[in-house]
């Protein structure tokens, strides 16, 4: 049996590897992301129609979408949606809620402090730290340029 060098093996493996269905994945991401955005828009419209101003309705919508993402993750539904919708489920704010709740649920057997509380921000923690840090820097730059 001939031995393949690294380059030949890589070429052989690339020929045998099934190609991902890019078009189908993009369509499903568009549909799932669109459904989440539609739900968010419905919540926003309901809040505005019930007397909230634009800012309060936007805040309420964000909170509602995070709650929905967390609940769907807790019920085990969000992973199924993400499997179908890929980036369409990962990008909206519901994906952020999923990234917080998933690790916390995974480690719940280790207790509330060492399991849930310590693992809750394992993925979202860096996003929060850099997001808050960069907003402070941008705010200071804006203040200095006035």
**pLDDT for the residue numbered 90:** 86
**pLDDT for the residue numbered 82:** 92
Where residue 86 falls (left for φ over 0; alpha for ψ -120 to 50; beta otherwise) is left
User: pLDDT per residue over 32-61, tens digit each?
Assistant: 999 999 999 999 999 999 999 999 999 999
User: What is the pTM assigned to this prediction?
Assistant: 0.69
**How far out from the chain centre does Cα 19 lie?**
25
Say how far apart CA 46 and CA 70 lie, in whole Å: 21
Give the pLDDT band (50/70/90) at residue 66: very high
Say how far apart CA 134 and CA 91 lie, in whole Å: 20
User: pLDDT per residue over 96-106, tens digit each?
Assistant: 888 878 777 77
> How many other C-beta atoms are found inside a 10 Å radius of the C-beta of residue 46?
14
Say how far apart CA 1 and CA 19 lie, in whole Å: 28
User: pLDDT per residue over 79-132, tens digit each?
Assistant: 999 999 998 998 778 888 888 787 777 776 777 676 666 666 676 677 778 888
What is the four-CA torsion angle of 84, 72, 103, 40, rounded to 10 degrees?
A: 80
φ, ψ (nearest 5 deg) of residue 33: -60, -40
> How many other C-beta atoms are found inside a 10 Å radius of the C-beta of residue 37?
14
DSSP code per residue over 107-128: TGGG-IIIIIIHHTTTTHHHHH
Say how far apart CA 34 and CA 60 lie, in whole Å: 19
């Amino acid at each position: 049996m001939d031995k393949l060098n690294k380059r030949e093996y890589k070429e052989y493996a690339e020929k045998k590897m099934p190609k991902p269905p890019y078009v189908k994945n993009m369509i499903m991401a568009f549909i799932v992301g669109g459904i989440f955005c539609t739900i968010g828009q419905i919540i926003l419209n309901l809040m505005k129609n019930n007397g909230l101003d634009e800012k309060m309705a936007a805040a309420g919508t964000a909170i509602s979408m995070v709650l929905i993402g967390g609940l769907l993750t807790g019920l085990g539904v969000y992973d199924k949606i993400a499997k179908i919708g890929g980036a369409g489920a990962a990008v909206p704010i519901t994906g952020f809620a999923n990234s917080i709740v998933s690790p916390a649920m995974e480690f719940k057997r280790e207790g509330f402090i060492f399991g849930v509380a310590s693992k809750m921000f394992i993925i979202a923690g860096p996003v929060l730290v850099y997001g808050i840090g960069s907003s402070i820097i941008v705010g200071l730059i804006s203040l200095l340029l006035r």
